[in-house]
Amino acid sequence: MKYTILLCALFYIQLVHAQSADGTAVNVLNNEPLPFVKVVNRSTDEGTVSDYYGAFSIKAKLGKDTLIFMANGFENKKIVASKNMLLKLSPSPIGLNSIVISTNREQELRNEVPVAISTINSEVIEKNKPTTIDQVLNQTPGVNMVDLGNEQHTMSIRRPIDYGASYLYLEDGIPIRTSGVFNHNALLEINMANVGKIEIVRGPSSSMYGSEAIGGAVNFISKKPTVKPTAGISVQGNNLGYKRSDFYASSTIKNKFGYRFSGYYADQTNGLLDHSDFNKLALSFDMRYKASKKAELVWTNTYVDYFSDMAGSLDSTDFYQQIYQSNQTFTYRGVSAFRSKFAFNHFWSKKSKTSITTFYRNNSIAQNPSYRVKDDYRPWAGTGNPNLAHGQENENSFQSIGLFAQHKQQFKLYNSSLVFGVSADFSPNTYGANYISIFKNNDGMYESYNPTDSLLADYSANIYNTAFYTQFKLEPIKKLKILFGMRYDNFKYVFDNNLGSNSFTSVEDGENIFSRIIPKVGATYQIKKNIGSYANFSQGYVPPQVTTLYVGNDIPSLKPVFYDSYEMGGWATFLKKNARLELSLYRMEGLNEIISVLQPDGSTEQQNAGKTLHQGVEYSFKSKIKKEFSIRISGTNALHQFLNYVEDGSDYSGKEMPQSPSWIMNSQILYTPSWFKGFRSSLEWQHIDEYFMENENSKSYTGYDVFNLRVGYEFKGFEVWTNIMNLTDELYSTVARATNWGERYSLGRPRNVNIGLAYKFQKK
């Protein structure tokens, strides 16, 4: 009997010690799995880390031991050990030690990255409920995404407001469009319903991503399939005729196969401004398959169908008298875009990973653009027909097939790591444009147009882009990390002109080749546990875009654009980690910058501008005040200047570049009362300073201040919100320009009240 009792006791002790807790760590906001979560058993001090799919297992006494969960960018959590745990972590409101992936296409700590980078996480997106992407992008320092109506836009990051190829837009690290056919409206092709996180790298990023990443790179990171079955639907609308519905469904089957389907449909009819209707359908379908503990397959697809009237901008009289009657009646823009990516990721170990991604794009933009409508009558000369105007209908299309392959390896020696990769992109591009004759009535309305057989452009241009890149990081002494980067890019345009030598576009058939080695060097130094600094030198490079190189020319004469960028900055956390300050100082010198130059007939032509200077300071402050209040201030003070630029005998050297406000600021205070669980409210202030409207610096726009109030309430699976945008009903222009034809203003939206209702289902 004694032996039986002893054996049972030994068996019980062995059973207790053999117990283990397991489960999956997820983001509480979207139920997505969280990799690299550190799990520690307080009783034994033993620890483990969740795998790439959020799964973890640790020895623990079930129901007795307490586990601590810690993840970069998330608040710590304690919970009693059990089986099949679904651990939900909340993002840190200050974003301490957050993870970023947009500097080398791999996850790393923000504090170890020697660049200015901002992250818009899922919490910011969920609480702001943006109807357009600029409503969250503009909350980051140094960013001014310009709303041109109906999701149309342009950008300003460390540069003036312009429409050139200065920014690279990516989806999960892959460019949305092929390099060489940049479009300032490229973010029309993003499915906002599938965006889980946005990362903005400010300054040249050409050493990693290649051309066009000279002012910055914006990476939209897609939502992942959820661990448990989830689904949701929402509807919203405002008093300006805007309506929208979002929907999604997601799950993971047997911890191996995950899927997510999401999308939205938006339209606007009978809006404030005449001729401003639009509609957009965006759909995404993503699948992830866990082939083994170390390998996964990822297939993502996005389709966007978009159509919008193009009302154009207002003249000064209509703008200031608030007469919103568009003089356009037939101009439009239509976009059809499909992207598909198939990726294989193999995790050889915790220190080694290989990724291979193939992709396909099919894209078309057809338009009768309002910005191409030019009057025949020239008021300053008194010549021309006042009832005649000129315009065009055009279509620019491309298809792409390509490959990205990358490997990351970490080493014990100097705590170093090496990232290297290759890419290849083949994109046949076609462009056609027909001249149209436009009738303008005596009231100034562009009433009708006559299509003609007169071709302004008809060509194909096959684009070949091959590249090799590498980044090496090491820690020669403790707390100091040094990074070296380099990329080689080669572009070849094979041009085939279907028109003759006497046509508007008369460039002869042939090839244009552009190549460049782009370096980067940077360093970070952790001064104290809560204080860090960084510095870098990088270059930006972009070849002339296909349309600017060929359309309307007889000889392709534009030169590539180069930028030298010098940057330093730092960050600090204080007030018991309840506050964080980030600061960046930069100086960017441009050579052969391409700008739009007004021609005598009112049209614009792309020309190289000699030397330019862009310098400034960017800052971000976040603080959590007790548990109920948090505050954010993001801003930039900058100077954008011509250093050496002469146009038609006029010397603009030393003058400020137009559309370049010296101060941009966005601040927000958020209130989430503990006594009213599920309720939130915030007040946002957007400031744009005064800026010059033209090169001569003789006319200026005063800028504006806009306030936005947002309130929302969540109860169980339901959510209701109201966003009052432009609370004080400020009359403002998102961009203002002056030419020989007069002053033009892009109307900022007046006060509008957006009301939404959502329901979210999640299986327990």
27-31, 199-203, 349-353, 565-569 — which is least confidently predicted? 27-31
Compute the distance between CA of residue 329 and CA of residue 309 in angstroms, rounded to an integer. 8
Q: Is the pLDDT of residue 7 over 80?
A: no
Within-domain flag for 535: yes
The distance of Cα 99 from the centroid of its chain, to the nearest Å, equals 17
Compute the distance between CA of residue 507 and CA of residue 494 in angstroms, rounded to an integer. 12
In single-letter form, the type of residue at position 285 comes to F
Q: Can you read off the two tokens belonging to residue 647?
A: 């146009």
pLDDT for 12: 46
Q: For residues 627 and 674, is the Cβ–Cβ distance under 8 A?
A: yes
Q: Of 56, 74, 89, which marks where a domain is finished?
A: 89
| Dihedral sign for Cα atoms in the order 245, 124, 303, 752 | positive
Q: Can you read off the two tokens belonging to residue 200?
A: 């903005």
Within-domain flag for 35: yes
Q: What is the mean pLDDT of residues 55-69?
A: 86
In single-letter form, the type of residue at position 125 comes to I
76-85, 507-516, 568-577 — which is least confidently predicted? 76-85
What pairs with residue 436 in β-bridges? 391, 451
Q: Is the pLDDT of residue 357 over 90?
A: yes
Helices (H), 146-247: 206-209
User: What are the distances in angstroms from CA 579 to CA 24, 95, 290, 336, 564?
Assistant: 30, 10, 39, 44, 33
Q: Are residues 437 and 577 in the same domain?
A: yes
Within-domain flag for 177: no
pLDDT for 55: 83
Nearest-5° Cα angle at 163, 160 to 169:
95
Q: Can you read off the two tokens belonging to residue 98?
A: 């957050």
Compute the distance between CA of residue 617 and CA of residue 638 in angstroms, rounded to an integer. 6
Query: Where residue 13 falls among pLDDT bands split at 50, 70, 90?
Result: very low
Q: Is the pLDDT of residue 600 over 80?
A: no
Query: Which helix (H) or strand (E) segment is 750 a member of?
Result: none
Compute the distance between CA of residue 23 and CA of residue 109 in angstroms, rounded to an integer. 25
pLDDT for 16: 47
Average pLDDT, the chain: 89
Q: What share of the chain is helix, strand, coil (3-state, %, to 5)?
A: 10, 60, 35
| pLDDT single digits (tens) 292-337 | 888 999 999 999 999 999 988 899 999 999 988 888 999 999 999 9
| pLDDT single digits (tens) 143-172 | 999 999 999 999 999 999 988 888 999 999
Q: Of 89, 117, 133, which marks where a domain is finished?
A: 89
Q: For residues 130 and 103, is the Cβ–Cβ distance under 8 A?
A: no
| Dihedral sign for Cα atoms in the order 72, 74, 80, 86 | negative
Q: Is the pLDDT of residue 8 over 60?
A: no
CATH of residue 43 = 2.60.40.1120
- Residue with more model confidence, 358 or 559: 358
Compute the distance between CA of residue 706 and CA of residue 704 in angstroms, rounded to an integer. 7
Among candidate residues 36, 135, 30, 172, the one with its CA nearest the CA of residue 91: 30
pLDDT for 10: 45
Nearest-5° Cα angle at 650, 645 to 651:
40
> Which phi and psi (to 5°) does residue 414 adopt?
55, 25
In single-letter form, the type of residue at position 180 comes to G
254-258, 400-404, 660-664, 705-709 — which is least confidently predicted? 254-258
**What b-and-e string marks burial along 211-231, b requiring 16 or more CB atoms within 10 Å of the CB?**
bbbbbbbbbbbbbbbbbeebb
* Domain range enclosing 40: 2-89
Compute the distance between CA of residue 67 and CA of residue 41 in angstroms, rounded to an integer. 5
Q: Is the pLDDT of residue 5 over 60?
A: no
Q: Is the pLDDT of residue 595 over 80?
A: no
Compute the distance between CA of residue 508 and CA of residue 498 in angstroms, rounded to an integer. 9
Place of tokens 């795998």: 51
Compute the distance between CA of residue 133 and CA of residue 152 in angstroms, rounded to an integer. 10
Q: What is the mean pLDDT of residues 581-609?
A: 74
Within-domain flag for 77: yes
Question: How many other C-beta atoms can be found within 10 angstroms of the C-beta atom of residue 242?
Answer: 20
Q: What is the mean pLDDT of residues 210-237?
A: 92
Ramachandran sector of residue 139 (left: φ over 0; alpha: ψ -120 to 50; beta: rest): alpha
pLDDT for 43: 83
Classify residue 253 as exposed, middle or buried by CB count within 10 Å of its CB (0-12, 13-18, 19+): exposed
Q: What is the mean pLDDT of residues 27-42?
A: 82
Place of tokens 């089957």: 253
| pLDDT single digits (tens) 633-692 | 999 999 999 998 887 778 889 999 999 999 999 999 999 998 999 999 999 999 999 999
Query: Where residue 14 falls among pLDDT bands split at 50, 70, 90?
Result: very low
Q: Can you read off the two tokens belonging to residue 234?
A: 């929402």
Classify residue 383 as exposed, middle or buried by CB count within 10 Å of its CB (0-12, 13-18, 19+): exposed
Q: Of 59, 89, 119, which marks where a domain is finished?
A: 89
Q: SS3 of 454, please?
A: strand
The distance of Cα 501 from the centroid of its chain, to the nearest Å, equals 41
11-25, 395-409, 414-428 — which is least confidently predicted? 11-25
Query: Where residue 176 falls among pLDDT bands split at 50, 70, 90?
Result: very high
Portion of the chain with pLDDT greater than 70, in percent: 95
Compute the distance between CA of residue 518 and CA of residue 454 in angstroms, rounded to an integer. 42
pLDDT for 449: 93
| pLDDT single digits (tens) 125-149 | 999 999 999 999 999 999 999 999 9
- Residue with more model confidence, 593 or 709: 709
User: What are the distances in angstroms from CA 545 to CA 156, 336, 430?
Assistant: 19, 20, 13
What pairs with residue 594 in β-bridges? 608
User: What are the distances in angstroms from CA 178 to CA 210, 307, 396?
Assistant: 11, 21, 13
Half-sphere exposure of 277 (CA within 13 A, CB side): 5
Instruction: State the DSSP string of 538-564.
Output: EEEEEPPPHHHHHTT-SS--PPPEEEE
Within-domain flag for 579: yes
| pLDDT single digits (tens) 484-532 | 999 999 999 999 999 988 888 888 999 999 999 999 999 999 999 889 9
For 509, which DSSP code? S
- Residue with more model confidence, 73 or 209: 209
CATH of residue 300 = 2.40.170.20
Q: Is the pLDDT of residue 598 over 60?
A: no
Query: Where residue 268 falls among pLDDT bands split at 50, 70, 90?
Result: very high
Within-domain flag for 46: yes
Within-domain flag for 130: no
Within-domain flag for 118: no
- In the chain, how many domains are there? 2
Instruction: State the DSSP string of 370-406.
Output: GGG-EES-BTTTTBS-TTEEEEEEEEEEEEEEEEEEE
| pLDDT single digits (tens) 413-453 | 999 999 999 999 999 999 999 999 999 999 889 999 998 88
User: What are the distances in angstroms from CA 643 to CA 77, 466, 561?
Assistant: 54, 33, 15
Q: For residues 523 and 115, is the Cβ–Cβ distance under 8 A?
A: no
Q: What is the mean pLDDT of residues 27-44?
A: 82
